[in-house]
Structure 1
Amino acid sequence: MPDPAARTLALFGGTFDPVHLGHLRVAWEAAEFLEAEVRMMPANVPPHRPQPVSSAGQRVAMLQAALLGQSRLVLDDRELRREGPSYTVDTLIELRDEIGTDRPVILLVGADAWSGLADWHRWKDLFELAHIGVLTRAGHQARESSSLSAHASGRRTEVVADLAQAPAGRIIDIQVSALEISATRIRSDIAAGRVPRFLVPPALLDDESLLAPYRS
């Protein structure tokens, strides 16, 4: 039986404010494509986007409810337990201290995030700590700045097995479903008294307290 500690580990971050079916479907497709465990990592203080409406505890409760009944997607709340901006490089350094330098780790980023990666804190260090999985929709291609394109040169692969040959440093595109679901729209709908059925996991609708932060 394979050693769980040797299994490829993927990280999928976001505010998850609230977590919705678009988040979960993309993470699930990446997990199946990569044959990896995917850790859902809610950000405490996201550096590149507005701050969450709901609290850290409320977002943890929503994710816990959403992830029940399966084991491929798991919650990792380390960024919520760390003060200050949730810089991905700090998260990866902390994770490497825990799991060592040999296990393959894949940082999952959306196409928009990939396009702006060169603006991230210590972005070049990310490639020393993890592979990058770029989540793309069919018919769309992520843009790259000249500095990112130069740094990415020679790192791309289309073969998942290549990612197991090294702990970090490669780039792979992962085609995912184009579910146009907006957390902003969900919050607006809830505030207006509408029910976001078929947009959020049923567990969030079963417990009225979970979506309470968005009700006006």
Structure 2
Amino acid sequence: MSKNAFVFMGGTFDPIHNGHLRTALEMQQWLGVDRLHLIPSKTPVHKDAPGCTSAQRLEMVRLAVEGESALQVDEREINSVQPSYTLLTLQGLRAELGDAVPICMIMGMDAYQTLPSWHEWQRFLTLGHLIVVQRPGYQLADDSVMGELTRQHRADSPQELLSQPSGKVLLHELTPLGISATQVRETIGSGDSPRYLIPDPVWQFIQENQLYGLTN
């Protein structure tokens, strides 16, 4: 198994919450890699504009993983002048890492099923692997576009992914914490505390910067 694999999880992280962090840490441990990279998007292509600036979202991710060596912040999309297209991120990683290093992108099943609407999504597997986190017992419809893609490219173990640079889809059952960024924003907007939904340093940052409609 390659310890040099680049494994990442992208997202708006608006704001980052404990569900993101727990999923990332569990996936890092399950894959047996040294670290997992969190890549905040600059301007999400598939979502509404975030509730705060890209610099603020990046800082919250930094604060959230401070002291956890298994999770690392990657600023490439925030610093890029290009749109946050996943294809561009994968192309950049492949150019940077070379042809032999496994690249693994982690995504939820909900996002996986929307891939046909993503920019040049058919090229993703030529550049890396997809690791799809699904809730226990969930099954893709066999006659769906993604069901067919999964059948053609499915891997049976992390070892299979980490022994080659690209081309595989690995499904992994995981029960995520029932937390969403929308829930966090709504909790803050209603004047309630989001503590234990997000890391304390992130909550402190939100208060200091009066984000998500927070006022003194």
Fold match by TM threshold 0.5: yes
How far has the Cα of 1:111 moved from its partner?
0.4
The SS at the match of 1:154 is helix
| Range with greater deviation from structure 2 (91-100 or 76-85) | 76-85
- Structure 1 unaligned runs (5+)? none
- How far apart, in 2, do the equivalents of 1:139 and 1:152 lie? 16
Structure 2: which amino acid aligns with 1:120? W
Residue in 2 that maps onto 1:155: 153
Structure 2 unmatched ranges of 5 or more? none
SS state at 1:158 partner: coil
Cα deviation for residue 212 of structure 1 reads 2.2
Provide the secondary structure at the position in 1 that maps to 2:78. coil
Matches within 5 A, 1:1-216: 6-36=3-33, 37-143=35-141, 146-207=144-205, 209=207, 212-214=210-212, 215-216=214-215
Q: CA deviation at 1:208?
A: 5.3
The answer to whether the Cα contact below 8 Å between 1:204 and 1:210 also exists between their aligned partners in 2 is no
Could you tell me whether the CA contact under 8 Å between 2:37 and 2:74 is conserved in 1?
yes
Query: Superposition RMSD on alpha carbons, in Å?
Result: 2.0
Letter in 2 for 1:16: F
Which SS does the other structure have where 1:33 is aligned?
helix
TM-fit CA distance, 1:149: 3.1
Question: Does structure 1 retain, via aligned residues, the 8 Å contact 2:140–2:147?
Answer: no
Q: Secondary structure at the match of 2:126?
A: helix
Q: Distance in 2 between matches of 1:49 and 1:59?
A: 15
What CA distance in whole angstroms lies between the structure 2 residues aligned with 1:47 and 1:83? 14
* Number of residue pairs aligned between Structure 1 and Structure 2: 213
Letter in 2 for 1:154: Q
Decide whether aligned partners of structure 1 residues 32 and 24 sit closer, same or farther in structure 2, where only a CA change above 3 A counts.
same
Give secondary structure in 2 for the equivalent of 1:107. strand
User: 1:168, CA displacement in angstroms?
Assistant: 0.5
Task: Give me the identity figure in percent.
Answer: 33
